[in-house]
Structure 1
Amino acid sequence: MAKRGVKVLKGDEKKEKREDMWLAQIGQRENHRYASDNSESSLLIHQLGRDISINCLLRCSRSYYGIIATLNTGFHSLIRSGELYKLRRQMGIVEHWVYFSCNLLEWEAFDPIHRRWMHMPKMQAYECFILGEIGIIAGGCDLRGNILSSAELYNSETGRWETIPRMNKARRMCSAVFMEGKFYVIGGIGVESLKTITSVEVYDLKTKTWSEIPNMYPTPNEGAGPTEEPLTAEAPPLVAVVNDVLYVADHVLKQVKKYDKEKNLWVTVGPFPERTTSMNGWGIAFRACGDQLMIIGGPRVLGAGFVEIYSWVPKEGPLEWNLVARKPSSSFVYNCAVMGC
């Protein structure tokens, strides 16, 4: 942003100045939109005016947006338009929610700040991920079972997919994370053998090129002895990034490990929550939620069980899991995503 005048603004003053500019833009857009509709039902908080009303909504927890949308047509139109989420992003207001599915086609959301559970409308159980306005998919298989090296980028602002350069190696059953502004593709099975690919591919969003980091991903089952399970039965790597630090959940040893970038090695941080179980890595989720790591799952029991959410904030010291929430449910997590907006 270009500087105007010679006054040097402090941090709070800069924030206030940005907010004033954003609110002015909001007012211009909304006044134009509602110029032809002056009915009372289209107004927000009439006594405060549209600008201040919207300013209040930006700071209100989005867990209440559904209720607010029922107040009148003005609130309903504003929240349905998605404009509030875009403005919250510009102002740096982010609330991370955990979305997960323990029953096919059924999703639940959990707000870790207000400790609220929300049942979501039924939807297709497609995997999803998000980083601000973009998402990237890489690798996988086509309908004939051919392992792919192709990659595509989705821009949620434009609603368009863009083909990006291919990876150096084709791989499936891999995982991916964003770290330090780059996209990392980790693990997976290649074309030549059923052994896990230990090199990691990194896509630089600025140069639009891929590079490889050899021997970055730890060999599965390392230190756990031989296993009779075929590698294809293993879940994709359970990885998450907090504050640009990469963590992996080793489901065999039931340990969380941290990646040391300078030494290119993994350091054991601590064990899983005692009650968390999985089937070759399937059935649990390992995610970053703001500045904390989360493990979502539960004990393996017949009939009625529980799903549990554990969290740990790495910057606060040694690994100590905190039981954030627990509710009756199937303990097998089919899919999970954390989104902040």
Structure 2
Amino acid sequence: MTNKKALPVPNFGSDFYFSYHKSPSQKMRILELLPHSDGNGSSTEEEPLPQDADYNLSLSDELETSILARFPRSQHWKLSFLNKRFLTLMKSGEIYKIRKELGLKEPSVFMLASGESNWWGMEWPFKSSRKLPRIQSDYSFEFGDKESFSAGSELFVSGKEFDGPVLWRYDSDTNEWFKGPFMINPRCLFASASSGNFAFVAGGLETNTYSEILDTAEKYDSKTKTWKPLPKMNSKRKFCSGCYMDKRFYVIGGQDENRKDLISCEFFDEETNTWNLIPDMLKDIPLLDSQSPPLIAVVNNDLYTLDASTNELKVYLKGINNWKKLGVAPVRADAQGGWGVAFKSLGDELLVIGAPSVSHKERALAIYTCCPDPEGEKLKWKQIDCGSVQLNHFIRNCAVMMGST
């Protein structure tokens, strides 16, 4: 006679139950690999299963797949050790499609460090990392300037090959690189921002002759894989930065066609289909020679900047068009004028990657996060263990992927 019990699967946001039978010939492989989670990515202590017996799971393929889809992305490599069917689900991208349907989101950070040919990906909470396939491009693209941004579950890397401008697209669902779809106006040194399935780009330098600074803008839809033009900005800008805040696409700073530093900002309002100017937005931010585009990030609709001259973190006060100091960040943004530092929003946190603020002899990669408080006087930064990842501290490109909606 077979004893049958109901055993709850660890909570991944929904309650799932299945039956199991005692059997000496089967191992509970799935339960051994299932992470204990409270549904928000935090570990919880569950009562251990009995150790004096083996169990045979009676799960349908559909239920097994639904359970495995709830694995944190950082644990997905474990699925390949279960059997060929689960490995196929990963390679086909089916697991990620199911995750989208379930509304599961985990930030993914993609970065290209100096001296590396491959991009690296890290999924929150950064317990593991993976090397992405190498982009099958040429010498000109690999060693040339590049910009990166994301839309939905896609990572874009813009650059130039021997044959001309190119836009490579990484599909995180299938772990593959593809060319295109190309922008309407190929560009470099431009501003970009992401919002769910959409990406926005504006300004920059046209990449055919590098002789024209652009005032054009475009919007990408990851569901239709298409670009559409937006109205032109008020000013031509290169070396500018972008962000998405208050349901608007902001383009901040940069240089105009006369190589004049711009301290203004303008934002695109989709409801009115117009660009609106904010003069003197960067009036209190020192501008250095050969400085990087402004290091900016948005958390909870508040705009933050990392001052490349002082390493200070500042929050923008919208009502008075001014900046408030929040203390010094734990990386050396001032070492090379802001170049080589990644400063990004990570959901409800700020993320900064670069050389640590210690002795110049210690130049290993350092990753920090914090939950910013615009009303606070001092931020609490948390250093993230990079584990076995040994990368150069100079980050050439970085993008955060929040996933599709």
TM-score, length-scaled by structure 1: 0.76
- CA distance in 1 between counterparts of 2:68 and 2:384 reads 27
| Whole-Å separation in 2 of the counterparts to 1:332 and 1:301 | 16
Q: Look up the match of 1:313.
A: 371
Taking the TM superposition and a 5 Å limit, the aligned residue runs for 1:138-217 are 138-142=202-206, 143-144=208-209, 145-191=211-257, 193-217=258-282
2:147 to 123, 127, 138: 127
Aligned residue in 2 for 1:290: 347
Give the conservation status (yes or no) of the 8 Å contact 1:149–1:168: yes
How many Å apart are 1:170 and its aligned residue? 0.9
Distance in 1 (alpha carbons) for counterparts of 2:277 and 2:384: 37
User: 1:336 is matched with which residue?
Assistant: 398
Q: Deviations over 1:209-231 (max 9, x none)?
A: 22222222345426xxxxxx63x
1:266 is matched with which residue?
Answer: 323
Distance 1:50-1:164 versus aligned 2 partners, 3 A rule: farther
Match in the other structure for 1:75: 86
State the 1:190 CA deviation: 0.8
Distance 1:262 1:92, change over 3 A: farther
Unmatched segments (≥5 aa) in structure 2: 1-12, 17-55, 136-140, 151-194
Identical-pair percentage: 34
The correspondence for 1:324, drawn from 365, 375, 384, is 384
Q: How many residues align?
A: 292
Equivalent position SS for 2:369? strand
CA pair 240-159 structure 1, distance change in 2 beyond 3 A: same
* CA drift at 1:248: 0.4
Per mean C-alpha deviation after superposition, the further-off stretch among 149-158 and 126-135 is: 126-135
Find the aligned partners of 1:269 and 1:202 in 2 and give their Cα distance. Answer: 25
**Alpha-carbon spacing, 1:183–1:70, altered in 2? closer, same or farther (3 Å):** farther
Secondary structure at 1:246 match in 2? strand
2:331·2:352 contact (CA, 8 Å) conserved in 1? Answer: no
Whether the 8 Å CA contact 2:292–2:337 is kept in 1: the answer is yes
Give the aligned CA root-mean-square deviation in angstroms.
3.0
Displacement, 1:63?
Answer: 2.1
1:59 match: secondary structure:
coil
Distance in 2 (alpha carbons) for counterparts of 1:133 and 1:81:
20
Q: CA deviation at 1:69?
A: 4.5
| Residue 174 to residue 276, structure 1, CA distance change in 2 (3 Å) | closer
Give the 3-state SS of the residue equivalent to 2:385 in structure 1: strand
Change (3 A) 1:81 1:213: farther
In 2: Cα distance, 1:58 partner to 1:167 partner: 43
Deviation at residue 315 of structure 1 after TM alignment: 4.3
| Larger helix percent | 1
Contact 1:305 1:328 in 2 (8 A): no
Separation of aligned partners in 1, 2:333 and 2:291: 17
User: Judging changes above 3 Å, is the alpha-carbon distance between structure 1 residues 260 and 220 closer, same or farther for their aligned structure 2 residues?
Assistant: closer
Q: What is the TM-score of this pair, normalised by structure 2?
A: 0.64
Asked if 2 retains the 8 angstrom alpha-carbon contact of 1:177 and 1:183, the reply is yes
Are the structure 2 counterparts of residues 209 and 88 from structure 1 closer, same or farther at C-alpha, using a change threshold of 3 Å? farther
Residues 276, 324 of structure 1: CA spacing in aligned structure 2 closer, same or farther, 3 A cutoff? farther
2:335 is the alignment partner of 1:278 = yes
- For structure 1, list consecutive stretches of 5 or more residues without a partner in the other structure: 1-14, 20-44, 223-228
Specify whether residues 297 and 79 from structure 1 end up closer, same or farther in structure 2 by C-alpha distance, changes over 3 A only.
same
Equivalent AA in structure 2 for residue 135 of structure 1? A
**Alpha-carbon distance in 2 for matches of 1:294, 1:283:** 14
Picking from 60, 68, 89, the partner of 1:49 is 60
The 2-side partners of 1:86 and 1:265 are apart by 43
1:165 touches 1:209 (CA, 8 Å); kept in 2?
Answer: yes
* Separation of aligned partners in 2, 1:58 and 1:180: 32
Higher-strand-fraction structure: 2
Distance 1:70 1:333 in 2: 33
1:304 is displaced (CA, Å) by 8.5
Distance 1:172 1:158 in 2: 28
- Mean Cα displacement is larger for which, 313-322 or 294-303? 294-303
Tell me the equivalent position of 1:30.
none
